[in-house]
Amino acid sequence: MNANTDIVLFVDDEPMVLRSIERAFLNSPYKIMTTGDADEALDIVRNEPVAVVVTDQRMPKMQGIELLERVKTISPPTVKILLTGYADLATAVRAINSGEVFRFIQKPWQDAELAELVAAAYRRFELQRSLAGADEAKLLAIAETIELKDPLTQGHCKRVAEYAMRMAGRLTVDKNIQRCIRAGAWLHDCGKIGIPESILNHCGALDESGMALVRNHPQWGAEVVRLAGMGNEAVNVVLCHHERYDGTGYPLQLSGEQIPLEARIVAIADMYDAVTSDRPYRKKRTPNEALEILRHEQGRALDPVLTQMFIDMIGTTGEPS
């Protein structure tokens, strides 16, 4: 018996593919539905609680991308995955980069790989549902749960929020906006919930595909926060905390004051705390070494004026003054 009432819907015009999927998910914890017809798939999304849709790209009545665009209109929270052949690989990559699709998987797939992908998509759906209407205590608890994927980041989101709030206070930012900044700082890495732990905890440089997944986490996270109905400033923090002041960041390559103030604040706090913490790919730096790194990044990665404010705020012990 499936424990979850939310549906994982598979759409493919080949009956043999659907039978194979049904066998692969026979003992899964999800409620599985399948259809070979795009219109029927849309009816299911309209009338049933669909958490995840997995669709083939090449179908006779409607391409998979078009189907998923319609799904987004009907049920924005539904997480979308594209099945694709080699010929449609570029289409799938563009769909991910534009935010239309959560992830794609190439045919023929391994059952374990597909199961892992569906599990990641379902976790994202549950995260979004948990965020909707959550109070601050619950938001922090959710953020700390996300951090459990990487033990070395334990406490990171809370510390980043504390630094960011100190800066926002010095800038006399409106109290309601401060609350959004704190929520955004807590959740700034929530998009990583869809990235395999093997990539998050990888020692050394990632390959191109691994880096592509990492670079998509701000968009995935921002979409979750937006759909959960949180404030625009919280969405901005999640989306733009990896933008760089010189315009070479991601995902939008914004520069200077094109980057929202709240994201520029959190980017400084995020860099400082990351540098002073152990990570799989390097050892932590001392607070003084971290401040030197911030000075080096003034006008490059970080807003120069805000960075100087942060440096002035930090004592030699590395604690806010």
What is the CATH classification number for the domain harbouring 295? Answer: 1.10.3210.10
Residue 172 shares a structural domain with residue 213: yes
Specify whether the CB–CB gap between 152 and 277 falls below 8 A: yes
Specify whether the CB–CB gap between 298 and 221 falls below 8 A: no
Decide if 319 is inside a domain: no
What pLDDT sits at residue 51?
97
Give the domain-ending residue among 129, 161, 191: 129
Selected residue with higher pLDDT from 291 and 280: 291
Report the share of the chain in percent with pLDDT over 90: 61
pLDDT confidence tier of residue 152, bands split at 50, 70 and 90: low
pLDDT at residue 316 is higher than 50: no
What pLDDT sits at residue 50?
97
Residue 203 shares a structural domain with residue 302: yes
Decide if 28 is inside a domain: yes
Residue 80 belongs to what domain range? 7-129
Decide if 208 is inside a domain: yes
Specify whether the CB–CB gap between 7 and 48 falls below 8 A: yes
Residue 293 shares a structural domain with residue 161: yes
Decide if 320 is inside a domain: no
CA angle 38, 73, 18 (to 5 degrees): 25
What pLDDT sits at residue 213?
76
Residue 205 shares a structural domain with residue 83: no
What pLDDT sits at residue 2?
46
* Of 144-153, 167-176, 283-292, the least confident: 144-153
Residue 49 shares a structural domain with residue 188: no
Q: What is the DSSP letter of 285?
A: P
pLDDT at residue 147 is higher than 90: no
Q: Write out pLDDT tens, residues 224-254.
A: 999 888 899 999 999 999 999 999 999 999 9
What is the CATH classification number for the domain harbouring 85? Answer: 3.40.50.2300
Query: How far apart are the C-alpha atoms of 82 and 98, rounded to whole Å?
Result: 14
3-state secondary structure of 257: helix
Give the domain-ending residue among 129, 156, 177: 129
* Of 7-11, 28-32, 84-88, 171-175, the least confident: 84-88
Give the domain-ending residue among 101, 129, 157: 129
Residue 217 shares a structural domain with residue 266: yes
Domains in the chain, number: 2
Decide if 318 is inside a domain: no
Selected residue with higher pLDDT from 166 and 194: 166
What pLDDT sits at residue 154?
73
**Which residue stretches of the chain are H helix?**
15-24, 38-47, 64-74, 89-97, 111-131, 136-147, 156-170, 175-186, 197-200, 208-227, 232-240, 261-275, 287-297, 304-313
pLDDT confidence tier of residue 280, bands split at 50, 70 and 90: low
Residue 62 shares a structural domain with residue 123: yes
Q: Tell me how long the chain is.
A: 321
pLDDT confidence tier of residue 19, bands split at 50, 70 and 90: very high
Selected residue with higher pLDDT from 125 and 101: 125
Residue 118 shares a structural domain with residue 20: yes
Give buried/exposed letters for 192-221 (b at 16+ CB in 10 A, else e): bbbbbeeebeeeeeeeeebeebbebbbbbb
Q: Write out pLDDT tens, residues 124-144.
A: 999 988 998 888 888 988 888
pLDDT confidence tier of residue 14, bands split at 50, 70 and 90: very high
Decide if 239 is inside a domain: yes
Query: Average pLDDT, stretch 52-72?
Result: 92
Q: Write out pLDDT tens, residues 74-91.
A: 999 999 999 887 667 777
Query: How far apart are the C-alpha atoms of 78 and 38, rounded to whole Å?
Result: 16
Residue 154 shares a structural domain with residue 185: yes
Specify whether the CB–CB gap between 194 and 223 falls below 8 A: no
Residue 300 shares a structural domain with residue 181: yes
Report the share of the chain in percent with pLDDT over 70: 89
Give Cβ neighbours of residue 203 (< 8 Å, ≥ 6 apart). Answer: 280, 281
pLDDT confidence tier of residue 319, bands split at 50, 70 and 90: low
What pLDDT sits at residue 268?
98
Q: Write out pLDDT tens, residues 179-231.
A: 999 999 999 989 888 777 767 666 667 777 677 778 888 988 998 999 888 89
Residue 56 shares a structural domain with residue 165: no
Residue 186 shares a structural domain with residue 267: yes
Query: Average pLDDT, stretch 275-302?
Result: 87
Averaged pLDDT of the chain: 88
Task: Using a cut of 0.85, tell me whether the model's pTM lies above it.
Answer: no
Decide if 321 is inside a domain: no
Phi-psi region of 229 (alpha: psi -120 to 50; beta: other; left: phi over 0): left
